[in-house]
Amino acid sequence: MKQHPLCTDCENPVTPFDLPIPAGLKREWAAVETRRRFLGRSGKVLGWAALAGLFGELGLRSFANGADINSVSADGRNNLGLPHFAPRAKRAIYLFMSGGPPQMDLFDYKPNLASQFNQDMPASVRGNQQLTGMTAGQAHFPVAPSHWPFGQHGETGAWVSSLLPYTARIVDDLTLIKTTNTDAINHEPAIMLMNTGNMNAGKPCLGSWLAYGLGSMNDNLPTFIVLQTKTNPKENNQPVSSRLWSSGFLSSEYAGVGMRSDGDPVLYLADPAGVDRNVRREMLDTVEQINRQALAEVGDPETNARIAQYEMAFRMQSSVPELTDLSKEPQSTWDLYGPEARQPGTFAYNCLLARRMAERGVRFTQIYKRGWDVHGDVVGVLPTLCQETDRGTYALVTDLKRRGLLDDTLVIWAGEFGRTVYSQGGLTQDNYGRDHHPRCFTTWMTGGGVRPGISYGETDEYSYNVVKDPVHVRDFNATILHCLGIDHSKFTYKFQGLDQKLTSPVPAHVVQGLLA
Amino acid sequence: MIAGPNLVAAIRNLRFRNVPPQWLFTLGVSVLLVLLPFAIPLDGRPHADGLQFLGRFHPLLVHLPIGMLVLLPLLELAGTTRLALREAAGFVLLLTLATGAVTFAFGISLAYGSGVMGATVTRHMWGGIALLVELMLCIALRPAWVSGQVHRIYPSLLALTLLTLIWTAHQGGSLTYGSGYLTRYMPGPLKEFFPSASAASDAAYVGSVYARHIHPILDAKCVSCHGASKEQAGLRLDFYDLLMKGGRDGAVVAPRNPDRSLLLQRVTLSPSDRHFMPAEGRTPLTTDEIAALRAWILAGASPTAASIPGISTAQENPDLPLQPVGDYSFLMNEIRQMQGSESAKLDAVSAMPSDGLILRTSDVASKFDDAQLARFQRFAPFIVEAELGRTAVTDACFDTLSKFSNLRALHLEGTAITGRALAKLSPLSQLTYLNLSGTKVTSDALSPLKGMPNLRHIYLFDTPAEPASTATNRGTP
């Protein structure tokens, strides 16, 4: 026998059973790769092939649906048995503050810090935590108290920074979570974890899970829409991209549909000159036929997604102009959202669009606002960030409330992590910087399913560690799913041999204290 | 107790010598039993603990005579063919009376010892007395029936005894589980025959913090012992006036002074304390409930205040007992077909059919009119939410909607309705949410809705009826 170049001892070939690997893996190998099993499977494949031939196109189509075969019925609606229980919220709007807002400058009021200005934070508070490369080399960790005064607002008397005068007005409606915490200390893993429940890219995000699980409420609009706020070049903008609203291993139908923040929200909505609606329809019908042929030949489930997306695009040609036509908005809208809302791409404009989408049955809207990564010049940049977002946020919640939509809409405000109480770089009387901080940060929710007017959890006097009632990102996401009628532990999708979940793999818990 | 032996002697002296002794016994004891409540009136004052100790065995023991009494007619029936069973029936009857008498004694000890009072307790006691009397009459009459001298009296008496048993047992059950226990989850159509199934409350305070937050707490945790059916310690908490009046120990609420309010003291004691409330191992108040009571008392314990710091008013639990809707699975084929077509759709609220269906029209809103709505009539009892916002429906839609008997939420925002026909919604007892934003509805048109107790969220943004402030929740002006 000719010796294989990699085989050193072909008399006694090495098998997986000789390798120093866990016994469980060996057992799995033994179960999968026996000759008998190989032959058995080959036989089954022939059988399936014959069956597929018998059923013709129908059979192949069901193959093409792949893992969805059991969950999607012929009419395209899923049979997952969701929601598991009657939901308090039908839809959600997620205001994502990318970069990591400084919790102690906005919501987590720490009056005692003023007296410790420029004193080193006790080493015991930090413990053995690994810091980012940006501050790990600092010899000192001087406490930087918030530059802005706080005030008590609403009937609940919650403390809110003077930077957020509008948000302060709705504080009685908010469920403040002071103890949100994450595992990651850098943007990319942290923002992935927040959105998809996993630090590595490739998993579906919250919106995709919801689109997959709950389906559409309006077939003329995408189930999951992403709005980006135009960036301000003076701010430290961390990148966001479609990986954050990707459907991962779910069908691409469930990916977020991004709308442009400048010019037309969706390109080529109008049919080109000379092409009327019927011509467009006929063209799409023909394209669908060709796609179905490809599906029959190749059986790639993504072909299904492509067909669905062409149809969606056709319907969006009429539904999106109506959605983005703000000319019929009454004066009271502009009084509420402010003049900025008239400019496409501003946060206030996106908030107004989000309200209009909620009215029209869009299941999940995510608005990204970048620039919260305030490593330096907090005093210079933070007021701008707050001014850009404060009124839109207030207006959205107030508008939903007065129109009766807040009863069944969950609004979420969160970034990917918080910021350190100690100053990054030089601390002066007038300015300071703040580094990333994963151990605690403030987020809030309001609307269907959550308890208004409470502040959940407590942090220590440096807003550094959680003292009481931590809410991990996984618990945060489990609670969001709960409000939408989903038991996060039962909402799974089989992929790579695992029952994948938004909240896997470490067990997550719905935070009962947040629920109404 | 007062005149028992004398009475028997008096009857003997009155030349009733030819009357059999068991008749005299029956008569004498019956008179005694009827006089008993007057001898030891239930005055709401607790008495010796020893009595209570015995008394608490009453609910345990009571099932023994009940079981035997239910067995009795079966034995009598079977006894027509098997004589041995007829003999057994006589023994069972005696035993029923014996255990029944002990049970009754324990029941009296319980009521007298714990100082309970109230209409249901009284009714339950008279039921017990009637049962004992009837049992004794049964015993006295039965020999004549067995020997064939009399035919109808004993069976009719036995039937009457059973009816009395059912009534008495129901009173007892109401004492233990609360009066709405049986009817609470009764299916909708049945409920119409039992109009009294809904709980009473202060109609005058609809919408106040008291009505929305405080009364429900008391109703859930306290009223089963401090209510119309049982008035432990002479205290009733089911109406505002009675709550403020207090009980035998005086006022239980000291406005603006939670620490001196007996109500709050009792519920915040250590659970092992003998004065801890709710007593007898019933579910204690949650910290949130205690906080709400404290906040309400601190703010002056007003029955009308619409908002109070510390009690959230923005949104409340849908705590009314929602009626489960029936099973719509037999319509599932039609529902699925609809979902595949370009028309309004019915979506399940959840995987549980009893949660009902949502009528969704957003795909076809501009084309959805009254005629299309009428087509959904056959699904009417299963639809719990109708999303008709921005559709082409008009005032005529209320004719169809009035048949959606389980409707909880109704969206009519941005439609052409004028509100003239809103009165047609009044049969919808489950309706909690009504969105009329952006319509021409005036405040006058809303008056028919005032009588709908569950309708707590009415949205009137951008209508002539909009209140001066933008807040539109009724009760939180």
pLDDT digits (tens, 9 = 90+) for B167-202: 999 888 877 776 666 766 666 666 556 554 344 456
Nearest of A396, A204, A330, A353 to residue A266 by alpha carbon: A353
Please report the ipTM that was assigned to this predicted complex: 0.81
pLDDT number for residue B7:
60
Residue-wise pLDDT tens digits, B393-423 = 999 999 999 999 889 999 999 999 988 888 8
Q: How far is B37 from chain A (nearest CA, A)?
A: 49
Q: What is the 3-state secondary structure (H, E, C) of B434-469?
A: EECCCCCCCCHHHHHHHHCCCCCEEECCCCCCCCCC
Q: Is the pLDDT of residue B5 over 80?
A: no
Report the pLDDT value the prediction gives residue A32, as an integer from 0 to 100. Answer: 66
Per-residue model confidence (pLDDT) at position B445: 86
DSSP structure string for A303-364: HHHHHHHHHHHHHHHHHHHHHH--TT--HHHHHHH-GGGGSTTSHHHHHHHHHHHHHTT-SE
Which 3 state secondary structure label does DSSP give A499?
A: strand
Interface of B with A in 291-350 (CB under 8 A): 307, 309-310, 312-317, 336-337, 339-340, 342, 347, 349-350
How is chain B split into domains, by residue range?
40-177, 199-298, 329-459
Question: CA-CA-CA-CA torsion for B63, B65, B69, B74, nearest 10 degrees?
Answer: 70
Q: How confident is the model at residue B47, as a pLDDT?
A: 72
Mean pLDDT to the nearest integer, A390-400: 97
Spatial distance between the Cα atoms of B268 and B259, rounded to a whole number of angstroms: 10
Residue B194 or residue A323, greater confidence: A323
B304 pLDDT higher than 50: yes
Cβ–Cβ gap B433/A404 under 8 Å: yes
Task: Tell me if chain A has a CB within 8 Å of the CB of B362.
Answer: yes
Task: Name residues 404-443 of chain B within 8 A of A (Cβ).
Answer: 409, 411, 413, 433, 435, 437
Locate B45 and state its tokens: 């004052």
Instruction: State the average pLDDT for chain B.
Output: 81
pLDDT tens for A225-266 read 999 999 999 999 999 989 999 999 999 999 999 998 887 888
Query: Nearest to residue B217, comparing CAs of B277, B305, B299, B298?
Result: B277
Residue B161 pLDDT > 80, yes or no?
yes
Residue A8: what pLDDT? Answer: 59
Position with higher pLDDT, B473 vs B3? B3
The kind and range of the H/E element at A206 are helix A206-214
Q: Among A53-62, A311-320, B317-326, where is mean pLDDT lowest? A: A53-62
* Interchain pair A85, B461: CB under 8 A: no
- Contact residues, chain A, for B390 at CB < 8 Å: 359
pLDDT at B187: 67
Class of domain A91-266+331-514 (CATH, top level) = alpha beta
Inter-chain contact B459–A404, Cβ cutoff 8 Å?
Answer: yes
Cβ separation A218–B471 shorter than 8 A: no
How far apart are the CA of A371 and the nearest CA of chain B, in angstroms? 32
Look at A74 and B340 and tell me if their CB atoms are within 8 Å: yes
Task: Report chain A's terminal Cα–Cα distance, integer Å.
Answer: 74
Question: Quick one: average pLDDT of B63-78?
Answer: 92
Tabulate helix, strand, coil % of chain A (nearest 5).
40, 15, 45
pLDDT above 70 for A401:
yes
Domain boundaries in chain A? 16-64, 91-266+331-514
Domain B329-459 has CATH 1.20.200.10: no
| Residue A335 near residue B462, CB atoms below 8 Å | no
Nearest to B363 among A75, A86, A218 (CB): A218
Q: What is the mean pLDDT of residues A359-379?
A: 95
How far does A383 lie from chain B, in Å, by closest CA? 29
- Give the C-alpha separation, B176 to B225, whole Å: 9
Q: How far apart are CA A384 and CA A326, in angstroms?
A: 26
Average pLDDT over chain A, rounded to whole? 88
* Inter-chain residue contact B360 with A217, CB threshold 8 Å: yes
- On the question of pLDDT at B321 being above 70, the answer is no
| CA–CA gap between residue A112 and residue A146 (Å, rounded) | 11
pLDDT tens, residue by residue, B237-286? 888 888 888 888 888 888 888 888 888 888 888 888 888 888 777 788 88
Residue B305 pLDDT > 90:
no
Q: Would you state the pLDDT for residue A106?
A: 97
CA distance B316 to B39: 50
Give phi and psi for A390, each to the nearest 5. Answer: -60, -50
Token couple for A478 = 């489990």
